[in-house]
Amino acid sequence: MNAITFSQVRKAFGAVQAVDGIDLTIPAGRSIALLGPNGAGKSTSISMLLGLAKIDSGEISVFGETPAKAVEKGYVGAMLQEAKLPSGLTVGEIADFVRGLYPAPLELAELLELAGLTELAGRRADTLSGGQAQRLRFAMAIAGSPRLLVLDEPTAAMDVESRRLFWASMRDYAAGGRTVLFATHYLEEADENADQVIVIAHGKVIAEGAPAEIKRMAGGRTVRFTLGEQPSAGLDALPGVTAVEIHGATVTLRTDDSDGTAEALFKKTTLKIRDLEITGAGLEDAFLSLTK
Ligand SMILES: Nc1ncnc2c1ncn2[C@@H]1O[C@H](COP(=O)(O)OP(=O)(O)OP(=O)(O)O)[C@@H](O)[C@H]1O
């Protein structure tokens, strides 16, 4: 069964087309990273998935239901950016209260354990550190034992150790055959914690695949130089080159072996190369050129 499908989903805010025709099929039981730069449309997609924002056109289904129905049935748990925590209550009280809202919640002890909050159960929520507060938000998201857990940039405000703990909790939760979808800016986070990565930019899916595949595509570099009037034939056959772009006198080569490409450029061709520059391709850059 599919956990999530998007069919030609669109959403605009005034003149901004935030989501521009997204199609997705996510089988149940997988951990999926929604990877993309600022403004890519990740949060907007998540809001529609959770039934919090209206879809302009297209369709979203969550375990065969509309988003609103799936949420109503308790299928979905979510951790959104900067959700407020109730003040004056302890971690254990809040976790227990949220459990009470669901028909078949996790046991309190299991919930606290999964979120790494067992030792903090008696602490007042307003005294928690940033990372601890995020763990409490995570506990609130999983309290109802949802089949689908949705996390929007969950580690944005965390230090390295908090991140490590957080992702371990997430993987423990996913291990029970649940589906997890999380948004992130970081390829590393996607690589370490997802079975499948969906890259979005400018409201569109621009690449999709296993983390290793995506990493290979995004790990490329750019070799740029001035060629002037010289012929550019044969550049695409140099070692490592995956794409060639020419703008006026400037050539940009995408390559997954920048050393090999540069060496061959000087040794295997008779071209006079000026202003050679080798840079790591930014994620968006790499994907946009790859999918052109
Ligand atoms: N409520 C809104 N009103 C107007 N424009 C919006 C609104 N929400 C989002 N946008 C715009 O829609 C586009 C997509 O935004 P969205 O928040 O979905 O991106 P994102 O990928 O989640 O980015 P980030 O990583 O920065 O959270 C952006 O251009 C954003 O400015």
The answer, yes or no, to whether any atom of ligand 1 lies below 6 A from the CB of 16, is: yes
Condensed to tens digits (0 to 9), the pLDDT of residues 185-243 reads 888 888 889 999 999 989 999 889 998 788 777 777 889 999 988 988 899 999 999 88
E strand intervals along the chain:
2-13, 16-27, 31-35, 57-62, 76-79, 148-152, 179-184, 196-201, 204-209, 221-226, 241-247, 250-255, 274-280
Ligand 1 binding pocket mutation candidate from 43, 151, 283 (most atoms within 8 A of CB): 43
**Prediction ipTM score:** 0.96
The answer, yes or no, to whether any atom of ligand 1 lies below 6 A from the CB of 36, is: yes
Condensed to tens digits (0 to 9), the pLDDT of residues 11-33 reads 999 999 999 999 999 999 999 99
| Those residues with Cβ within 8 angstroms of residue 73's Cβ, 6 or more apart along the chain or in another chain | 65
The answer, yes or no, to whether any atom of ligand 1 lies below 6 A from the CB of 40, is: yes
The answer, yes or no, to whether any atom of ligand 1 lies below 6 A from the CB of 168, is: no
The answer, yes or no, to whether any atom of ligand 1 lies below 6 A from the CB of 131, is: no
CA-nearest residue, atom 12 of ligand 1: 18
Q: Do 105 and 99 meet the contact criterion of CB atoms below 8 Å apart? A: yes
